[in-house]
Amino acid sequence: MIRYALPLAVFVLMVGLLGYGLKLDPKKVPSPLIDKAAPEFSLAMLHDSSRSLSTADMRGQVWVLNVWASWCVSCRAEHEVVTALANKNLVTVVGLNYKDKSEDAIRWLQQFGDPYATSVVDFNGKVGIDWGVYGVPETFVIGADGLIKYKHIGPMTMESLEQKVMPVIRELLS
């Protein structure tokens, strides 16, 4: 009897776990960095590689880091939302150009518009790894205390901007 019951129990358990996993939202990947210090970086600016920007330069202000690339189709879809966020003039929006060629990134921003206060270049993706980037686009809200307060995985929509990102920003600014 046990000879048949054990494989059946294992099978039922596996089906149950698979069913549970299929109900999860893949965009809701919890970040271990929430309420932790933003990983340090100092990267060359996209438009002037002789200058750099670091997380230390952003201390004391609420800011947004948007990870993007010219080769990213979803980044193009999200671009108008990032532009809308930047046009609110509430926070500094920094672009992290991820695993991209600088000339392609500059051409892309010239074609579609540049919503970023500045973009920095993460050519080899090391900073993206430090920040826990799964893929582009991703957006982080960082508080004046230097802690990551929110992470949005995938392209932001106007709905996610207004219902998820902006409430976090408004709370940090109050």
Residue 6 lies in a domain: no
Q: Looking at the domain assignment, is residue 18 inside a domain?
A: no
With respect to residue 13, please indicate whether it lies within any of the assigned structural domains.
Answer: no
The answer to whether residues 8 and 125 touch, using CB atoms and an 8 Å cutoff, is: no
Mean pLDDT, residues 28-39? 81
In this predicted structure, the answer to whether residue 29 has a pLDDT above a threshold of 60 is no
Whether residue 11 has pLDDT greater than 80: no
Is the model's pTM score more than 0.85? no
> Which two tokens mark 49?
């590689």
For residue 63, with 0-12 CB atoms within 10 Å meaning exposed, 13-18 middle and 19 or more buried, which class applies?
A: buried
Instruction: Flag whether 85 is in a domain.
Output: yes
The predicted-structure confidence for 87-100, as pLDDT tens digits, reads as follows 999 999 999 999 99
Total structural domains within the chain: 1
Q: How far apart are the first and last CA of the chain?
A: 65
> Residues 50-77: pLDDT tens digits?
999 999 999 999 999 999 999 999 999 9
Position 14 in a domain = no
Give the domain extent around 143.
29-173
Residue 21 lies in a domain: no
Q: What is the pLDDT of residue 69?
A: 98
- C-alpha 45, offset from chain centre: 18
Which positions ≥6 away from 139 have C-beta within 8 Å? 64, 65, 66, 67, 82, 151, 152, 156, 165
d(CA 153, CA 138): 5
pLDDT over 80 at 152, yes or no:
yes
Which pLDDT does position 17 carry in this prediction? 74
Closest C-alpha to 136, from 165, 114, 105 = 105
Integer Cα distance of 128 and 39 in angstroms: 10
The DSSP element (H or E) to which 43 belongs, if any, is: strand 42-44
Per-residue pLDDT band for 28 (boundaries 50, 70, 90) equals low
CATH (domain of 45) = 3.40.30.10
Residue 106 lies in a domain: yes
